[in-house]
Amino acid sequence: MPLVPLRVLNSGNAATRTRSGESVPNRLTPATVFLCALVMTGCNTPATVAPEEPRDPNSVPELTLNLPEARDCECNEAPSRDFTFLERGYSALTLNEYEDAVAYFQRYRRLEKTPEARWEADIGIAFVSMLPNSPFFNAEEARKAWRELNKQLTPDMQVHDKARLMNDALAGFSLLDRRVKDLEDDNSMLSEDLEKREEALKRLRELTLGQAEE
């Protein structure tokens, strides 16, 4: 809006003339003129608008969830075992190095003092005792060791896969050895029966010949 010029008279009794020629006393004081100019200047000044802050298109509003506080877990994790010497024992077996295999199994049992490690080492030694080419071959001891170890194995025990295979092999060997022993017992009984029959036939022949001579 343009400012309207005002004529300020120096004397307090000065007047302003109207179109009809009448004189109107001027009541504008310097303070009034200053206030009017200030108000009119403010109307002409455009209002300053604060610029909006740019928004990040990738920003995600933070969500506050009333979740219960996490409790400290005191879970007892099973300690991991070092299979180095156990694996060396298996490798020695593939090379028919039976004494080295037994030594590795025994060392593994001494270092890893857990029920699983003891079982794995003992089943390996029992497996060596089952092999006919092994200097430790003893079918009876291998069968006894397997029976005891098979009782110790529980479903919650996490043992090596090769140890489980050895356990299955010992189970098959024990069953086969039992059948062989049963067959040997049967053969022994048959041999005794055969001897008895031969003895009976011999006596019968002697009696027959004696009667013929008479």
In a domain, 184, yes or no: yes
Task: List the domain range (segments joined by +) for residue 37.
Answer: 1-43
| 71 located within any domain | no
Residues 113 and 191 placed together within one structural domain of the fold: yes
**Does pTM top 0.85 for this prediction?**
no
pLDDT tens-digit series, residues 140-171: 899 999 999 999 999 999 999 999 999 999 99
Of 11, 27, 43, the last residue of a domain is 43
* pLDDT for the residue numbered 76: 52
Q: What per-residue confidence (pLDDT) applies to 61?
A: 60
**Is 112 part of a structural domain of the chain?**
yes
Judge if 115 and 25 occupy the same domain.
no
Assess whether 9 and 94 both reside in one domain: no
Q: Do 134 and 189 fall within a single domain? A: yes
* 90 and 193 part of one domain: yes
User: Number of structural domains, the chain?
Assistant: 2
The answer to whether residue 193 is domain-embedded is yes
In which residue ranges of the chain is pLDDT below 50? 1-16, 18, 20-24, 47
In a domain, 25, yes or no: yes
Whether residue 189 sits in one domain with residue 129? yes
Whether 142 is in a domain gets the answer: yes
**Predicted pLDDT of residue 74:** 52
Is there a single domain that holds both residue 122 and residue 36? no
Amino acid making up residue 120: E
Task: Please check whether residue 75 lies inside any domain of the structure.
Answer: no
Q: Is residue 169 part of a domain?
A: yes
